[in-house]
Structure 1
Amino acid sequence: MALAALARRIFGSPSDRHVKRFQGKVDAINALEPEFAKMTDDALRGMTAEFKSRLEKGAKLDELIVPAFAAVREASKRVLGMRHFDVQLIGGMVLNDRSIAEMRTGEGKTLVATLAVYLNALTGEGVHVVTVNDYLARRDAAWMGQIYNFLGMSYGIIVHGLTDPERKAAYAADITYGTNNEFGFDYLRDNMKYTRAQMVQRGHAYAIVDEVDSILIDEARTPLIISGPSEDRSDLYVKIDELMAILDEGDFEIDEKQRSATFTDAGIEKLEERLAADGLLKSASMYDVENVALVHHANSALRAHKMFRKDKDYIVRDDEVVIIDEFSGRMMPGRRYSEGLHQALEAKEHVKIQPENQTLASITFQNYFRLYKKLAGMTGTASTEAEEFADIYKLDVVTIPTNVPVARKDDEDAIYRTAAEKFDAIADLIKQCQERGQPVLVGTTSIEKSEMLAELLRKKNVGSMNVLNARHHEQEAFIVADAGLPGAITIATNMAGRGTDIQLGGNLEMRIEKEAAGLEGEAREAKIADIKRTIAEDKAKALAAGGLMVIGTERHESRRIDNQLRGRSGRQGDPGHSAFFLSLQDDLMRIFPVESMDSMLGKLGLEQGESITHPWVTKAIERAQGKVEARNFDIRKNILKYDDVMNDQRKVIFEQRLEMMDAEDVSETVVEMRHDLIETLVAKAIPARSYPEQWNTEQLEAAAKTYLNLDVPVKAWAEEEGIDAEIVTERLIEAADAAAAAKEAQTLQAFEAAGTPNPTVMRQVEKTILLQSIDGLWREHLVTLDHLSKVVGWRGIAQRDPLNEYKQEAYELFQALLTNMRELVTTQLSHVVLQPRPVAPPAPDFSRIRETHIDPLTGENDADGGDTIADSLGAVGSDPSLRPVDPKLLVGVSRNAPCPCGSGKKFKHCHGAF
């Protein structure tokens, strides 16, 4: 360690060497500044066309860095009045270099991104700028979009609630801003559509991820899932929830580290007695196969009651259970816990129980962002996770020096024996800060603690304060913008408000938006001048009081989250102060105890209200955090190993879908599937080197009728002289091909007779059935893989590697999927009945799908409503006796909706039955 520290002092850190490498280009950009400053607006705008021309002639993107960055800097000066600092130019080069730029809060990361965004947008392939929420996507796009427009570039915004045409237009722009969830869900939805024209994304060339640690680390624990509704089991959830009241402490065990709760033998006996009395138990034991669903519901109810706390993990709002994000403390409307846990919480809180959902498509953020040919990111805190970024995403972390030296003072952690003593000390410090006019930002870990601290401050007669948590999610940006006012007290859950600058004296843009809205002309100018004067006066007062004081009420499991909180103070060389207050009753200290801390405090003989503060203590806590971070990294890495298996299969399925969508004619694929199926059917009924009397002719005849809709005399063939399996196969193929050709001819005649000739009708039907078959089987495959991943871990008891077992079984399941697809497609096309009617085919209906963001560790989901083309299976009827109906009318029809043919039956019992 000492040798490494000495080497860093002599040669500099890897980041120092990285930054030094770019200094020559910075000097070159600075040398161009006078020349670009003399250009007219039109001449500067014309540089974009010149750069594109050079690229078309074979120039490399890196050759354009110097002039392109100079153009962006000059454009920014003209339209925003902001000039990129040298360190910001370096940040832009790091982003272009497929790396993560670690820049402190207030260093202007939003402006830094414009450099690499503009440069890479010159290729015409599209650049995605990924943010953590809709507000930041809109704000950054509107703000930085002025630069792009000035330089002749277009930009779009992807936020929740847009229609497909609006999304397609946004993705067609040179630069697209949006949230990580929206980009990922659009990718999944695109791979559920039936034509290229319906798809909204146009590829994954280059992405810059803002707050990259939040998105690629914190949220990467939560795969994106698109799901559709399944059967309603509300009554069962309510009955199981009522059983929780009969449990005593000895009936279950809690493991807070693993966030798990399990029943003891005594608890199981109690439950079995009550379940049997209520008539819910189908056999003697809860753990018999017939009662698997009961075990699942009981475990979910136990976790809901014993592991999840109201106002910490979730709140009840408008008769709904709304989850609180554990990292940001923000309310996540629409997000739902998985595997029945959310329904268990709804039963616990006596609100309306929503049905569980069936997975239709899914992808992890790791695998989504690895789709990009070029990826970069920026944040204030990434170095503690540098190993994970390098290992998973192949991204280096480069720490960019600040434009002005940091003047913030960071105190050592103060540790108290009890939480009550700790919060008393925090309240006293806040009161002192307010009395001297120093703004205070307090970071808490839950709504409960933020409101408890606010109540304590009121009892101590501390003046007005802003409590920012999930209850006030909508006002987040405005509350944080005022956190730098003299004497302001802002209590925020974790990193609420991240992405909004805390400026001493107040945020000019926010104040103008709030106070000058609706004013025009001289009145607006006068108001803005007044706001500027007030901000300057308030900033002077806040500076005199010592700048922003940041107080952490406890340490997070991750050092990065603590560093984010600290980083809110000391912006752009401003003075500032940060301090963390801890107690032995904090979750981190209790669940992951620092060795000998309690005995140390006891030996010191601390009096009530006294604390210990020492660098050794702070380092011991950071070591404990480092262990937790390493453990969480291992968990995420293991999850990714399993998802990589599914990802390989996902790529195959999605690529096949694209090929089929792009193909004008898929008849060759259909014929190949039919022939392969026939060979499989013959191989099953006629074993190798067997005599005709050993053949299972009845089985083959039945299979030919089921799959090919053919009546063939296999039994008679078997009595012929010289017959063998190859001849039988040829005859079946010949008969099946002839039947398919006859069906196509009949269909064409029917369309011609109806006056609507359509020579490609069978090609359209073949493509539709192929795509629908892939979608239906892929959904079933996802459910099977999900179940497999949950039970395969038990193979370790038998000394078998669970991951290898999972890979092997997943491969076998995928081969079965391909076999099933041949059977399904061939069967449907053999039985299909088409009737002409000139109607244009509708696009897939997504009005009932649910977009879900699940956390594999905590079970959290981030969901949004919608419909799935899952329900649109069944484009054509299989029974000749059915009423005639145009198959185009049947695309997108819900399985339980009335059939469009007018029979009065449900679709699934009529033309939707295969």
Structure 2
Amino acid sequence: MSIFQRFFGSSNDRKVKAMTARIGKVNALEPKMQALSDAELRGKTEEFRGRLAQGASLDDLMEEAFAVVREASRRAIGLRHFDVQLVGGMILHQGGIAEMRTGEGKTLVATLPVYLNALAGKGVHVITVNDYLAQRDSEWMGQIYRFLGMSVGVIVHGLSQGQRHDAYGSDITYGTNNEFGFDYLRDNLVYEAGEMVQRGHNFAIVDEVDSILIDEARTPLIISGPTEDRSEFYKTIDVVVKELIKDATTFEHDEKQKQVILTEDGAERIEEILQEGGHLAEDSAGLYDAANVSVVHHVNQALRANILYQRDKDYIVRAGEVILIDEFTGRMMHGRRLSEGLHQAIEAKEGAVIQPENQTLASVTIQNYFRLYSKLSGMTGTAATEAQEFLDIYKMDVAEIPTNRPVTRIDDDDEVYRTSAEKNQAIIVQIEDCYRRGQPILVGTVSIEKSEQLSEMLKAHKFEIDGKKKTGIPHSVLNARYHEQEALIVADAGMPGAVTIATNMAGRGTDIQLGGNVDMRVAKWRDEQRGLGIEVTPEMAVARKGEIEAEIKDSKEQSLAAGGLFVLGTERHESRRIDNQLRGRTGRQGDPGHSKFFLSCEDDLLRIFAGERLDSIMRTFGVQEGEAITHRWLNAAIQKAQTRVEQRNYEIRKNLLKYDDVVNDQRKAVFEQRAEFMTATDLSEIIREMRLDTIEDFVSRHLPPKAYAEQWDIDGLDAHVREWLGLELPIREWAAEDGIANEEIEQRIVAAADARAAEREEQVGDHMRTVEKSFLLQMIDLQWREHLMHLDHLRNVIGLRGYGQRDPLQEYKTEAFSLFEKLLTDLRQNVTRWLMTVEFQFEEPPQPPPGQYFEVHMDPLSGENAAQMGLLPDGIPADQREALPVAALPQGWEDTGRNAPCPCGSGKKFKHCHGALV
């Protein structure tokens, strides 16, 4: 293979080489574009659209469109695309992933395929990892698009429905993956077509594609509504569990699988405590009695909250609120909550305000949302390690784009120490050395806690420089606590002698430029002047920018002379990509750079996978205190451990997707049918078909086709016709007639039902079509909500069927299909019943209370994956939830069936909601 590659190149080389001829055509057009006036260049957009309308394809326009964007970029923002950036643009246009090193200008690359695909007028979505980048890129790159006569919108948290509608109506829309996904779900909860904000899924480019489509994809997006408040119960269980775990023999903690379970002794102890406190159901046989399933669920979640989730690593507490931290980017994830009471358990643990539990209204996985797009592409600095997953799930090829200038970075082998104390001492020595020589250094940590520990050590460090004794090395800390200063801290990390400690560097979006960042420094100066009440004139801004550029030029020369940016990793991450992203921060655009990782046998990755063995090897070879071992074999062993963890995470995502694929077809069918109903003006024929199907179901159930008349269940049919159709019919007399067949009885019921429907329509008048549509949409939502709840409970227990030598996934498919058939039957029957029995009274609809819906990102090891990860089922059955405290039934609800969904919209059965009170 190596000989073959030597002559013909790798598949990636051949892929990139195939673009060379087309790049030549783009370059050949450059003089022609430069000769055009601004108006003529802008006029190219309408010219291209006209050619598309006449039958030309986007591929036919590609070279010319790229040349137009390159020239527009040069005029609008002063940046000209390199040839390798043109290659990246072509890969994105083809629906692939462009892997480009940090500093190679991925943001600018996206403008090429975005403009080309936006010409079709169907909308292009550019997805980023956070609101800051979405806002920044839409303004920065938006200058190019607007120069060429295109509209640009941005979707960020907090926009109104109208603002979102306008943003999606633009030619190009920027936003985060969460905003796009939640808007898709919200669009399928509205009752008027005009309230939908998205206009289809044509083409999307995902920035930091590995972070969004791999890391984020372990957990689905969920829109949920509130249920009853059980905050006191969470506090009670938390106190019990905290007392229990003081004895380590009461639980088993598996760090590899990230699981914690009670031991037999622990279960007995907690049963005694709960029994004494009166928290178990009366007359129950013990903790694991069916009546106590809710208590067991809360105990398991409190155990996980106290053992698995660590403050300042997995979450932080700010202003009494528990905010999750993204393990891959180190950012706070506002608005995201763990599911099934786990977030409430953490709030109880920290003494924070406990928010009510939520019930799922709609959900979708990241994978299935992005697979809605007709064409999907992405870009990142690290995708090659996950190339197989991108191909398997998203059908996207990864292409490694060559750098514009050769990489001169030096990557040292890892240094491994026996203890964390020895490693930390070596890290301090390395930081001091860089600080003395004026070399900027970026120190990467894996948690807030460790970044702050290192910060304290630097503050206390005593050293001597130029004959003077000093205490403390000046440094900046970037983690979730200082999230707001992120761009500013990163921009100054290339200053001579700058020491920056960062918790993960994935998708930061701001380059570390040696000497500093001109734009950031100018923006900071403007803010300072504004704070002093000084109005900045254009002349002052130009003068100050010139001074800053001169200062940065001097600083850059000092940083280059010291060896460029030094990247120091204090620990290996579970994912190789995160380590590669940290390394990629240095050596941008041909700059010199250096990177090294310092490890110890006490680090989580090594301790869990090879700690004892590695420690014994170091003892055997007589490694002294403070000494490190370094070898390429050791690097390979660490990579192998990382690969195992990555493979496990891939299995979690793959399992999640397999189960969600079962529901995805059902979700698409329901959402598409719902959209059709919402846009239709007359649903009377569909309503009648539902009524006929309902009557047919009743008759076939009580009067089986091949049964004798003596075997007919006349009483049952009569009861159903009274309850569900509101009809008083002489069915018993009909059945007594000689020679009558069940088909004739069915026809008589149909005739009576049609007459009743016509009579009701005459009473309601012109409003009937609106009433039918409203009832149908509400009932779809209620039934779908209950269906999702049943599927959640099914997922929690389906794994146990593996003990019976049955495939849990196949069992889940079968049961999910049966549940979906039941959903359709219930939908027909409930819509028929409502329209035939409910008394109508028209008034202004009540406004929903604020905060009625929540957007949550589920915990990957909770609920969705519980069965696959070997966890015990711990869902709370719907019939064990408390009834809502409502004084009396609203008018028209008295005839609601006991097993029908409650008209209040809670998603519960009537008998467990308002019906429980009468």
Q: What interval of TM-score do these two structures reach, taking the shorter chain for normalisation? A: over 0.9
Structure 2 counterpart of 1:740, from 738, 745, 757: 757
Structure 1 counterpart of 2:824, from 811, 818, 825: 818
2:563 counterpart of 1:546: yes
Q: For residue 194 of structure 2, what is the aligned residue in structure 1?
A: 197
Q: Provide the secondary structure at the position in 2 that maps to 1:718.
A: helix
- Whole-angstrom distance in 1 between the partners of 2:831 and 2:917: 14
Q: Which amino acid aligns with 1:376?
A: S
Q: Is the 8 A contact 1:657 1:771 kept in 2?
A: yes
The alpha-carbon deviation at position 303 of structure 1 amounts to: 1.0
- Whole-angstrom distance in 2 between the partners of 1:729 and 1:149: 65
Q: Is the 8 A contact 2:782 2:905 kept in 1?
A: no
Q: Which amino acid aligns with 2:83?
A: D
**Which string of whole-angstrom CA distances, capped at 9 and with x for unpartnered residues, describes residues 715-746 of structure 1?**
11111111111011101111111000011112
Equivalent residues in 2 for 1:849-888, closer than 5 Å: 849-857=853-861, 877-878=891-892
Structure 2 counterpart of 1:43, from 40, 44, 60: 40
The alpha-carbon deviation at position 791 of structure 1 amounts to: 1.1
Q: For residue 885 of structure 1, what is the aligned residue in structure 2?
A: none
Q: Provide the secondary structure at the position in 1 that maps to 2:347.
A: helix
Q: Which amino acid aligns with 1:352?
A: V
**Which string of whole-angstrom CA distances, capped at 9 and with x for unpartnered residues, describes residues 669-720 of structure 1?**
1111111010111111112322223211111111001110111111111111
Q: Is the 8 A contact 2:567 2:596 kept in 1?
A: yes
Q: For residue 773 of structure 2, what is the aligned residue in structure 1?
A: 767
Q: Which amino acid aligns with 2:248?
A: E
The alpha-carbon deviation at position 246 of structure 1 amounts to: 3.2
Equivalent residues in 2 for 1:654-803, closer than 5 Å: 654-748=671-765, 759=766, 761-803=767-809
- Whole-angstrom distance in 2 between the partners of 1:892 and 1:402: 61
Q: For residue 869 of structure 2, what is the aligned residue in structure 1?
A: none
The alpha-carbon deviation at position 197 of structure 1 amounts to: 0.7
Q: For residue 755 of structure 1, what is the aligned residue in structure 2?
A: none
Q: For residue 829 of structure 1, what is the aligned residue in structure 2?
A: 835
- Whole-angstrom distance in 1 between the partners of 2:812 and 2:666: 13
Q: Provide the secondary structure at the position in 1 that maps to 2:736.
A: coil
The alpha-carbon deviation at position 348 of structure 1 amounts to: 1.2
Equivalent residues in 2 for 1:440-589, closer than 5 Å: 440-460=441-461, 461-495=471-505, 498-517=508-527, 518=530, 519-589=536-606
Q: Which amino acid aligns with 2:420?
A: A
Q: For residue 101 of structure 2, what is the aligned residue in structure 1?
A: 104
Q: Provide the secondary structure at the position in 2 that maps to 1:693.
A: helix
The alpha-carbon deviation at position 895 of structure 1 amounts to: 7.2
Q: Is the 8 A contact 1:677 1:822 kept in 2?
A: yes
Q: Is the 8 A contact 1:468 1:496 kept in 2?
A: no
- Alpha-carbon distance change, 453 to 497 in structure 1, aligned in 2, over 3 angstroms: farther
- Alpha-carbon distance change, 895 to 399 in structure 1, aligned in 2, over 3 angstroms: closer
Q: Provide the secondary structure at the position in 1 that maps to 2:101.
A: coil
Q: Is the 8 A contact 2:506 2:578 kept in 1?
A: no
Percent sequence identity is 59
**Which string of whole-angstrom CA distances, capped at 9 and with x for unpartnered residues, describes residues 215-270 of structure 1?**
00000011100000111111111111111213411111011111111011111111
Equivalent residues in 2 for 1:351-500, closer than 5 Å: 351-460=352-461, 461-495=471-505, 498-500=508-510
Q: For residue 902 of structure 1, what is the aligned residue in structure 2?
A: none
**Which string of whole-angstrom CA distances, capped at 9 and with x for unpartnered residues, describes residues 97-122 of structure 1?**
11000000000000000000000000
- Alpha-carbon distance change, 135 to 893 in structure 1, aligned in 2, over 3 angstroms: farther
Q: For residue 66 of structure 2, what is the aligned residue in structure 1?
A: 69
Q: Is the 8 A contact 2:129 2:507 kept in 1?
A: no
Q: Which amino acid aligns with 2:378?
A: G
Q: Provide the secondary structure at the position in 2 that maps to 1:407.
A: coil
**Which string of whole-angstrom CA distances, capped at 9 and with x for unpartnered residues, describes residues 504-554 of structure 1?**
111111111111344122111111111111111111111111111101111
Q: Is the 8 A contact 2:442 2:500 kept in 1?
A: yes
Which segment drifts farther, 648-657 or 506-515?
A: 506-515
Q: For residue 754 of structure 1, what is the aligned residue in structure 2?
A: none
Q: Which amino acid aligns with 1:833?
A: E
Q: Provide the secondary structure at the position in 1 that maps to 2:378.
A: strand
Q: Provide the secondary structure at the position in 2 that maps to 1:612.
A: coil
Q: Which amino acid aligns with 1:268?
A: A
Q: Is the 8 A contact 2:796 2:863 kept in 1?
A: no
Q: Is the 8 A contact 1:877 1:913 kept in 2?
A: no
Q: For residue 210 of structure 1, what is the aligned residue in structure 2?
A: 207
Q: Which amino acid aligns with 1:857?
A: L
The alpha-carbon deviation at position 15 of structure 1 amounts to: 1.4
Q: Is the 8 A contact 1:336 1:860 kept in 2?
A: no
- Whole-angstrom distance in 1 between the partners of 2:448 and 2:700: 65
Q: Is the 8 A contact 1:406 1:573 kept in 2?
A: yes
Q: For residue 258 of structure 1, what is the aligned residue in structure 2?
A: 257
**Which string of whole-angstrom CA distances, capped at 9 and with x for unpartnered residues, describes residues 452-494 of structure 1?**
0111111213421111111111111111111111111110111
- Whole-angstrom distance in 1 between the partners of 2:863 and 2:454: 29
Q: Is the 8 A contact 2:775 2:831 kept in 1?
A: yes
- Alpha-carbon distance change, 515 to 496 in structure 1, aligned in 2, over 3 angstroms: farther
The alpha-carbon deviation at position 32 of structure 1 amounts to: 0.6
Which segment drifts farther, 418-427 or 343-352?
A: 343-352
Q: Which stretches in structure 1 are left out of the alignment for 5+ residues? A: 749-758, 862-870, 883-890, 897-907
- Whole-angstrom distance in 2 between the partners of 1:730 and 1:279: 59
The alpha-carbon deviation at position 833 of structure 1 amounts to: 2.2
Q: For residue 246 of structure 1, what is the aligned residue in structure 2?
A: 244
After TM superposition, the score normalised by the length of structure 2 is 0.92
- Whole-angstrom distance in 2 between the partners of 1:314 and 1:546: 37
The alpha-carbon deviation at position 846 of structure 1 amounts to: 7.4
- Alpha-carbon distance change, 816 to 879 in structure 1, aligned in 2, over 3 angstroms: closer
Q: For residue 221 of structure 1, what is the aligned residue in structure 2?
A: 218
Q: For residue 872 of structure 2, what is the aligned residue in structure 1?
A: none
- Whole-angstrom distance in 2 between the partners of 1:859 and 1:769: 32
Q: Which amino acid aligns with 1:259?
A: K
Q: Provide the secondary structure at the position in 1 that maps to 2:141.
A: helix
- Whole-angstrom distance in 2 between the partners of 1:830 and 1:715: 22
- Alpha-carbon distance change, 180 to 892 in structure 1, aligned in 2, over 3 angstroms: farther
**Which string of whole-angstrom CA distances, capped at 9 and with x for unpartnered residues, describes residues 120-159 of structure 1?**
0000000000000000000000000000000011100000
Q: Which amino acid aligns with 1:853?
A: H
Q: Provide the secondary structure at the position in 1 that maps to 2:451.
A: helix
**Which string of whole-angstrom CA distances, capped at 9 and with x for unpartnered residues, describes residues 176-218 of structure 1?**
0000000000000001111211100000000000000000000
Q: Is the 8 A contact 1:845 1:892 kept in 2?
A: no
- Alpha-carbon distance change, 174 to 828 in structure 1, aligned in 2, over 3 angstroms: same
What is the total number of aligned residue pairs between the two structures?
Answer: 868
Q: For residue 888 of structure 1, what is the aligned residue in structure 2?
A: none
Q: For residue 627 of structure 1, what is the aligned residue in structure 2?
A: 644
Q: Which amino acid aligns with 2:344?
A: Q
The alpha-carbon deviation at position 594 of structure 1 amounts to: 7.1
- Whole-angstrom distance in 2 between the partners of 1:521 and 1:745: 72
- Whole-angstrom distance in 2 between the partners of 1:879 and 1:605: 81
- Whole-angstrom distance in 1 between the partners of 2:35 and 2:642: 54
**Which string of whole-angstrom CA distances, capped at 9 and with x for unpartnered residues, describes residues 635-678 of structure 1?**
21111000000111100100110110121111111111111010
Q: For residue 185 of structure 2, what is the aligned residue in structure 1?
A: 188
**Which string of whole-angstrom CA distances, capped at 9 and with x for unpartnered residues, describes residues 616-641 of structure 1?**
11111112211221221122111100
Equivalent residues in 2 for 1:6-17, closer than 5 Å: 6-17=3-14
**Which string of whole-angstrom CA distances, capped at 9 and with x for unpartnered residues, describes residues 724-777 of structure 1?**
1101110111111100001111222xxxxxxxxxx2x11110011110000011
The alpha-carbon deviation at position 319 of structure 1 amounts to: 1.1
RMSD: 2.3
